Structure 1
Amino acid sequence: MTPSQTEAALPSPTARVAAAYARIAAADRPEVWITLREFDDVHAEAAAIEQRLADGAELPLAGLLVAVKDNVDVVGLPTTAGCPEYAYSPAETASAIARLVAAGAIVLGKTNLDQFATGLVGTRSPHGAVRNALHPELISGGSSSGSAVAVALGIADIGIGTDTAGSGRVPAAFHDLVGIKATLGIIPAHGVVPACADYDAVTIFAATLDLATRAAAVMAGAEGRDPRSRSWPADVRFAAPQVPRLAVPVPANLDALSPEYRDAFDRSVCAALEAGCKIEAVDIAPLLEAALLLYDGSIVAERYAAVGAFLDTAPAGADPTVAAIISAAAATTGPGFATDLDTLARARAFAAELLEPFDALLLPTTTEHPSLAAVQADPIGINRRLGTFTNFCNLVDLAAVAIPGAATATGYPFGVMIVVPAFADQVAVDIAARLQNADTAPLLVDRGVDLAVFGAHLRDQPLHWQLEELGARFAGAIRTTDAYRLTAMATTPPKPGLVRTEPGAGAPIPGELYRLSEAALGRFLAALPAPMALTAIELEDGRGVIGFTATHDATATAADITEYGGWRAYLSAR
């Protein structure tokens, strides 16, 4: 049973908990967990949530079960970052986890990981390699291995990971999961053992885009205890356009892909075309070169700053590969670090210019799916290849949503990423929904202002492109109260003018509602031509919104078309 099926089928949080622990016993995957909470404690928490629901509490994630990567703090559970000697008892729960719990989610326990979140393979742990949930002879992907496998096995509904180099995306690709790596800082990293503090992101795994997005929306928001946290800006985009423009790498950029993955990516691109996207190939070589700086450059000094002094004490539980990577970073120099920062600044400028004509970059999530034996034989080389398309995202401040792509010819999972500029996360979610043939896309960004339109800006009308350009999101069909009349004005293109009258003296006028950012509304108003204007509009359902009207002199001489029942009906009648 998949997590989404479990969520729909189980009647209560307590039943969900009972099913999860039964699944844990049946799966027999002890390597997934570093600390698993006692059943009685989790069951009691679920019972308390049921009582809160009965008392009328609104809990959007009520009873959903969460597996937390063990470099993220949860009060009452030790944080080890995959190294027993590093263990400590946190005084506070990480703010992102606290927000999930406040929304009704329940933490099951702490999961295994590539030690100190250093790796993309899921094998670098004294607690054992985390086997792939679907094909146990293959790797699970790291470093957020345990969290991804807990979701893929149907135990947890939500897996919490971290992603510096791709750890919230590579395991998703290996398990047919959705992985959301939001813009850096949007989900605060308070309570996270740092890997590279400037480039760490808290991430979400889930079986569906809807659940992953719901969890991300709950976790998002600035946090005073995290100096790197960020809020959605005033000009945030709320939607992708009806015909998304996707960039894909030129063939030379895809040389790292295995033949099987190359074929799967080609078919995924064809599927995007069939889904109505426009596709253009671009050269992303400078981004692939920037990706090498995360481990092969001086940026790795941030890993040493985080835990290098501890590893220098040679703790017995230290993974040799992880210890070698981090300890070697002690040799980095200040000038070398400054040089790499300059290289990254240039790479960010390149990324901004590259993506400016597009809505997103469509990439393969990773290059191949190696076996546990192959990684044991070549732990560094394979790990480096796996991060080919993920390593640069945080370095150049991009967001990404990882979703299943076309399955490989042998039927194994393959994943793609929708990569977007910082704060365009909702655009990535919308495109991901389109590629998954979803009827609607879940809402990640919950802010902004509503704008009512009644004529030339409706979805099939000639000025609708202006709303798309501003990233406006369709929020539904609307009707005004009966205190309005509609007129047809002699403008180019033709537009209606909404006229306020006495209640009962008009008729309900149909229109559409759009959500857009405060800055977008300001730009829209500044460019509004005469005789159009914006004013408060009363809707039939009692809401008051900003909407289109027109100046009195323009509507006074215009033909009254109220009787037609809206602008589209009037145009059709003509």
Structure 2
Amino acid sequence: MDIGSVAFDFASVRARLAEGADPVALVAESCRRASAVADAGIFTALTPPETALENALRLAAEARAGRDLPLLGLTFSVKDNIHVAGMVTTSNCPVFAIDPQESAPTVTALEQAGAVLIGKNTMDQFATGLNGTRSPDPLCRNAVDPVYIPGGSSSGSAVAVARDIVSFALGSDTGGSGRVPAACNGVVGVKPTIGLVSMRGLVFNSRFFDCVPVFARSVADGAEILRLIAGFDPLDPWSRTDAGAIDLKPLPPASARLAVPRADQLRFFGDAASKAAFAANLAALRGLGHELVEIDFAPFEEAGRLVFQSAMVAERLVDYGAVVAERPEGVHPAVRAAIEPGLSYSARDAFEALYRMRELKRVAEIALADVAALVVPTVPTIFTIDEMLAEPIARNTIMGTYTYFVNPMDLCAVATPGAPRADGLPSSVSFVGLAGRDGVVAGLAAGFERTMAGALKQPSAGLRRIRD
């Protein structure tokens, strides 16, 4: 059986297994693809192939013995701020290295379900950035067109899925890092409710706002992984006690009403192709029977600004302050520029920012109470790598226009590919819902995904996906 051409989405892998394919051979092919791009800036470290194959052989034997392994034959990778026992965690900063003695609970849960870890992914250093260029060379490149940024900070995680190296990947998300890379590379990004997934074993950017997102080729695949890693963790002080009660299956919405930003508040920063694609995406939603209701987007934008333009940035000094002070030569200049402003704020500034954020969170709760979700473009535009390097601060901020507000307002979201842009790059729509509505936003995204499936397969879409 030819394994070399297999696609690693869940349905394709399971179809091959049903036809008699060896799950060990599938893992071996994933290792081969990862090794082929070892110098392409997608991974910071690879699981030794012999270790991955040993794990695959053990799991295959357990499956034959009758053990239920729902992820048998599937492979995954994780962002390099998630601990894996036996692999150094660097957050893509070589002078900042942790040798964890145990894996994060998310990794353990996936391995116990039959998935095999292939490696650790490149990221914007210390998860500080939304573009993918704030990392040591070689830079990770967009999976659709290598001239463009891959998005960040979970750049390698999204690209590994988009290039069909692994079946799914985990990242981290503070201000959009589980959605922006998904949008830039044409895959799905599932960003759970804060506290739904254990954060133990993660090097934090923000303990208040961080979560573990899933990158996958379809909403169903991403939702399945979320169900396996979600749940209350009594050892994680940020874990939700009701995590086990939240319905994560894609659900039909109770209302056909969807909120959208007022037309005069939508910004695409001169990108006509992005603007046209979002208009087409909204038309598709109307075609599905949704009523689009305009709301004031200003409070959401303010919440996003507070995360990175207020005393809240000082929180980064908790985890990264020492290395910035003691080993500044090992920290990317743009990352230093993002972290060092935290030194200038007072405790009073921090409390005032937290108070204002709580007020804005209430605004979001009221604004979204009577709609199924808020719909926004995941990203307003996409820059080339050269453009981003020319203006790394301002253009990075632009990438977070429609993502920064989600976590501080305690919302969940799913980013899914939309109508192809006229230039062949992917567009993406995010369905954003109140905390605990993860199943609802997944259901909305899945319905939209089905509608878009035909358009995304059209040759005229011109997607230039790289395949090794």
Q: TM-score, normalised by structure 2?
A: 0.90
Which of 244-253 and 399-408 deviates more?
244-253
Secondary structure (helix, strand or coil) at the match of 2:208 reads helix
Q: In structure 1, what is the equivalent of residue 44 of structure 2?
A: 34
Q: How far is the alpha carbon of 1:276 from its aligned partner?
A: 2.1
Q: How far is the alpha carbon of 1:248 from its aligned partner?
A: 0.9
Contact residue 311 and residue 353 of structure 2 kept, 8 A: yes
Contact residue 255 and residue 371 of structure 2 kept, 8 A: no
Q: In structure 2, what is the equivalent of residue 366 of structure 1?
A: 379
Q: How far is the alpha carbon of 1:63 from its aligned partner?
A: 2.6
Residue 432 of structure 1 pairs with residue 439 of structure 2 = no
Contact residue 13 and residue 74 of structure 2 kept, 8 A: no
Q: How far is the alpha carbon of 1:91 from its aligned partner?
A: 1.3
Q: How far is the alpha carbon of 1:244 from its aligned partner?
A: 2.5
Q: In structure 2, what is the equivalent of residue 505 of structure 1?
A: none
Contact residue 243 and residue 276 of structure 1 kept, 8 A: no
Contact residue 13 and residue 73 of structure 2 kept, 8 A: no
Q: How far is the alpha carbon of 1:426 from its aligned partner?
A: 0.5
Matches within 5 A, 1:60-459: 60-232=70-242, 236=246, 239-241=251-253, 244-257=256-269, 258-437=271-450
Contact residue 42 and residue 108 of structure 1 kept, 8 A: yes
Contact residue 85 and residue 315 of structure 1 kept, 8 A: no
Contact residue 126 and residue 318 of structure 1 kept, 8 A: no
Q: How far is the alpha carbon of 1:345 from its aligned partner?
A: 0.9
Paired residue for 2:16, among 9, 34, 41?
9
Deviations 1:355-397 (A, max 9, x none): 0110100110011110010011000011000001100101110
Q: In structure 1, what is the equivalent of residue 457 of structure 2?
A: none
Gaps in structure 2 of 5+ consecutive residues? 1-5, 452-468
Contact residue 232 and residue 243 of structure 2 kept, 8 A: no
Secondary structure (helix, strand or coil) at the match of 2:77 reads strand
Matches within 5 A, 1:467-486: none
Structure 2 residue identity aligned to 1:247: A
Deviations 1:520-559 (A, max 9, x none): xxxxxxxxxxxxxxxxxxxxxxxxxxxxxxxxxxxxxxxx
Contact residue 75 and residue 93 of structure 1 kept, 8 A: yes
Contact residue 230 and residue 244 of structure 2 kept, 8 A: no
Contact residue 177 and residue 207 of structure 1 kept, 8 A: yes
- Write the distance in 1 (CA, Å) between the matches of 2:39 and 2:222: 24
Q: How far is the alpha carbon of 1:6 from its aligned partner?
A: 4.5
Q: In structure 2, what is the equivalent of residue 49 of structure 1?
A: 59
Secondary structure (helix, strand or coil) at the match of 1:262 reads helix
Q: How far is the alpha carbon of 1:9 from its aligned partner?
A: 3.0
Question: Kindly tell me: are residues 242 and 335 of structure 1, through their superposed partners in 2, closer, same or farther at Cα, counting changes over 3 Å?
Answer: closer
Secondary structure (helix, strand or coil) at the match of 1:335 reads helix
Which of 222-231 and 5-14 deviates more?
5-14
Q: How far is the alpha carbon of 1:313 from its aligned partner?
A: 0.6
Q: TM-score, normalised by structure 1?
A: 0.74
Contact residue 194 and residue 412 of structure 2 kept, 8 A: yes
Q: How far is the alpha carbon of 1:50 from its aligned partner?
A: 0.4
- Write the distance in 1 (CA, Å) between the matches of 2:85 and 2:36: 28
Question: Kindly tell me: are residues 325 and 243 of structure 1, through their superposed partners in 2, closer, same or farther at Cα, counting changes over 3 Å?
Answer: closer
Question: Kindly tell me: are residues 231 and 275 of structure 1, through their superposed partners in 2, closer, same or farther at Cα, counting changes over 3 Å?
Answer: farther
Q: How far is the alpha carbon of 1:255 from its aligned partner?
A: 2.1
- Write the distance in 1 (CA, Å) between the matches of 2:174 and 2:123: 13
Secondary structure (helix, strand or coil) at the match of 1:122 reads coil
Deviations 1:381-432 (A, max 9, x none): 1100000110010111000011001111112101110000000100101111
Structure 2 residue identity aligned to 1:66: F
Structure 2 residue identity aligned to 1:223: D
Structure 1 residue identity aligned to 2:165: I
Which of 104-113 and 7-16 deviates more?
7-16
* Greater Rg over alpha carbons, structure: 1
Q: How far is the alpha carbon of 1:86 from its aligned partner?
A: 0.8
Secondary structure (helix, strand or coil) at the match of 1:280 reads strand
Deviations 1:60-94 (A, max 9, x none): 11131111100000001000011111112101111
Percent of paired sites with the same residue: 36
- Write the distance in 2 (CA, Å) between the matches of 1:425 and 1:176: 21
- Write the distance in 2 (CA, Å) between the matches of 1:139 and 1:219: 29
Q: How far is the alpha carbon of 1:7 from its aligned partner?
A: 4.9
Gaps in structure 1 of 5+ consecutive residues? 439-574
Which of 370-379 and 320-329 deviates more?
320-329
- Write the distance in 2 (CA, Å) between the matches of 1:184 and 1:127: 32
Q: How far is the alpha carbon of 1:242 from its aligned partner?
A: 6.3
Which of 236-245 and 144-153 deviates more?
236-245
- Write the distance in 1 (CA, Å) between the matches of 2:444 and 2:335: 36
Question: Kindly tell me: are residues 2 and 251 of structure 1, through their superposed partners in 2, closer, same or farther at Cα, counting changes over 3 Å?
Answer: farther
- Write the distance in 1 (CA, Å) between the matches of 2:105 and 2:380: 33
- Write the distance in 2 (CA, Å) between the matches of 1:309 and 1:169: 29
Contact residue 39 and residue 138 of structure 2 kept, 8 A: no
Q: How far is the alpha carbon of 1:289 from its aligned partner?
A: 1.5
Q: How far is the alpha carbon of 1:208 from its aligned partner?
A: 1.1
Structure 2 residue identity aligned to 1:57: R
